[in-house]
Structure 1
Amino acid sequence: MSDMNVSFPHLGISLNINNVAFSIGDYHIYWYGIIIGIGFILAFIYAMMSLKRFKIPSEKFLDCVIVGLITAIICARLYYVFFSWDFYSSHPDKIFAIHDGGLAIYGGLIGALLGGCIVAKILKLNIPAILDVASLGFLIGQGIGRWGNFINQEAFGTETNLPWGMMSENTGGVTVHPCFLYESLWCLLGFVLLHFFSKKFQKYYGQIFLLYLVWYGFERMIVEGLRTDSLYTPFLNLRVSQILSAVVMIAGIVMLIVFRKKNNFVHTTKALKDKVKE
């Protein structure tokens, strides 16, 4: 890819970017992969530093991460191919061409959770605690990884006149919503808030994960409606990620309410027993 000019006209910012970081012969190393890798490494470092707080053995957690990473890549591709089947049914040779792009973040999250939780179950780990650590790591990875979309000039939205509107050759020369930026800032803010919540206010394992579902689901449901590259359901003209985000957010809210009542019941029962003993 040649250099691309990306600007934020109303802010007076103009940049020249290239999605190739460097080349080794004819083999190109792309900034997208490097940025995703940095996000994963930082998320992993944070998770390893948090394991003691969540009472998770590091050696067993590493097994969950390795398997979760593999299943994340597989599911991210399967998710994208499934909802882009009109193209891939005519080009089956492209299904495994991951180097050409086509990884869906929701598919990756689902795959990571499935693979990681299966290993956690086998190793008899506390799955809700694993989910808490994973969700905080996801927010780091997503917050940083979205800048790969900026380098590729993808995942942007419809035309806008807002002061932070972005323009490039890929946007057709008009200012558009920088959706990658919205999600990046939202995820990083969510990480900061949930990190401190987990240290000061968390009442039970799994609570951080449920809050993550609500936090991310709310943002993605709104921002997905602005994007111009959404995947759609096969039979209805509905955005897949928007529907899934709404379901995820509602499920998170319901489960938070259920566990809050259950938690209150447990504490009330314990208090009554202690009172009787007195």
Structure 2
Amino acid sequence: MEQTIQPLDRVALELGPITIYWYGLIIGLGAMLGLWLVVRESERRGLAKDTFVDVVMIAVPVAILCARLYYVAFEWDFYKDNPGKILAVWEGGIAIHGALIGSFLTALIFSKKRGISFWKLVDIAAPSILLGQAIGRWGNFMNQEAHGGPVTRDFLESLMLPDFIINQMYIDGTYYHPTFLYESLWSFAGVIILLYLRRANLHRGELFLTYIIWYSIGRFFVEGLRTDSLIVWDTSLRIAQVMSLIWISAAVIIWIYRRKAGLAEKRYLES
């Protein structure tokens, strides 16, 4: 006999015609905690208190737009027949790589306009970005998306997961890998490592490059378990895995080049 397990309600609050979804609230919470962390650190590093508030005011809408466009581009076969769904971000479907590309471009332009070192800016922001990603994955949990392949309930219980996670991974009669959780835990571990590396006083830019490498390694392996991956057109390649390999390679090359070219003489704790 099939089990009857009620999924968690995706709606957090309804105020008349306005519906507030947990997905959006959780993404917002991740952004706010990330902002709190980066503002504290930016003051220690000698930047004006409102520097990252200004960055976030521009970067967040740009990141959401780029994340959605990135996702829609690789799911165009669906969206060309359902154009009304293109803006329905509350239903899920934003790609983190698109968001990161939009955020990094924003930071690059912003740093040039303000006369601030781009590498200093992104070094300070790196732990906060990863914290936002770690929290944001729980939005996927509420939407029952970004999960992996089928597993048994016994397998999930062997991971010592609480019932509310196990039950939420029961979708249409099947239990699935909680890949959102694997990536979230990997990202939280990365936040701790990056916060420790702040004190290690790496060369400027290397904290950010460590973030790129750490996140991309975790994403590569987690993506291999997922069933909803974006696919490179007319191939079986998972775009997130391809992007992860590209980003890891680029980060390592940039790291070595900056060291050899003498472009990373300053260290993180220097003004």
TM-score (norm 2): 0.85
Residue in 2 aligned with 1:105?
A: 96
Q: Which amino acid aligns with 1:35?
A: I
The answer as to whether partners of 1:19 and 1:31 remain within 8 angstroms in 2 is yes
How does 1:238-249 map onto structure 2 within 5 Å?
238-249=237-248
The answer as to whether partners of 2:38 and 2:124 remain within 8 angstroms in 1 is yes
Q: Which amino acid aligns with 2:188?
A: L
Cα offset for 1:159? 2.1
Please state if 1:57 is matched with 2:48. yes
Question: For the structure 1 residues 114 and 53, does the alpha-carbon distance in structure 2 shift closer, same or farther, using more than 3 Å as the test?
Answer: same
Unaligned 5+ runs, structure 2: 267-271
The answer as to whether partners of 2:38 and 2:52 remain within 8 angstroms in 1 is no
The answer as to whether partners of 1:167 and 1:176 remain within 8 angstroms in 2 is no
The answer as to whether partners of 1:51 and 1:58 remain within 8 angstroms in 2 is yes
The answer as to whether partners of 2:35 and 2:53 remain within 8 angstroms in 1 is no
Q: Tell me the SS of whatever aligns to 1:17.
A: coil
Residue in 2 aligned with 1:253?
A: 252
Question: For the structure 1 residues 93 and 203, does the alpha-carbon distance in structure 2 shift closer, same or farther, using more than 3 Å as the test?
Answer: same
Question: For the structure 1 residues 132 and 90, does the alpha-carbon distance in structure 2 shift closer, same or farther, using more than 3 Å as the test?
Answer: same
Q: Percent identity?
A: 39
The answer as to whether partners of 1:43 and 1:138 remain within 8 angstroms in 2 is yes
Residue in 1 aligned with 2:59?
A: 68
Residue in 1 aligned with 2:180?
A: 180
The answer as to whether partners of 1:76 and 1:103 remain within 8 angstroms in 2 is yes
Question: For the structure 1 residues 5 and 144, does the alpha-carbon distance in structure 2 shift closer, same or farther, using more than 3 Å as the test?
Answer: farther
Give the Cα separation in 1 of the matches to 2:263 and 2:79.
Answer: 51
Which has the larger displacement, 40-49 or 173-182?
Answer: 173-182
1:59-81 per-residue CA deviation (whole Å, 9 max, x = no partner) reads 33322221111210110111011
1:206-250 per-residue CA deviation (whole Å, 9 max, x = no partner) reads 111100011000000110011011111113221111100111112
Cα offset for 1:261? 4.4
Q: Tell me the SS of whatever aligns to 2:182.
A: helix
Please state if 1:27 is matched with 2:27. no
The answer as to whether partners of 1:56 and 1:126 remain within 8 angstroms in 2 is no
Report the RMSD for the aligned CA atoms in angstroms.
Answer: 2.4
Unaligned 5+ runs, structure 1: 7-15, 268-278
Q: Which has the larger radius of gyration?
A: 1
The answer as to whether partners of 2:203 and 2:264 remain within 8 angstroms in 1 is no
Give the Cα separation in 2 of the matches to 1:265 and 1:214.
Answer: 18
Give the Cα separation in 2 of the matches to 1:116 and 1:194.
Answer: 19
Question: For the structure 1 residues 59 and 177, does the alpha-carbon distance in structure 2 shift closer, same or farther, using more than 3 Å as the test?
Answer: same
The answer as to whether partners of 2:147 and 2:178 remain within 8 angstroms in 1 is yes
How does 1:143-158 map onto structure 2 within 5 Å?
143-158=134-149
Please state if 1:221 is matched with 2:212. no
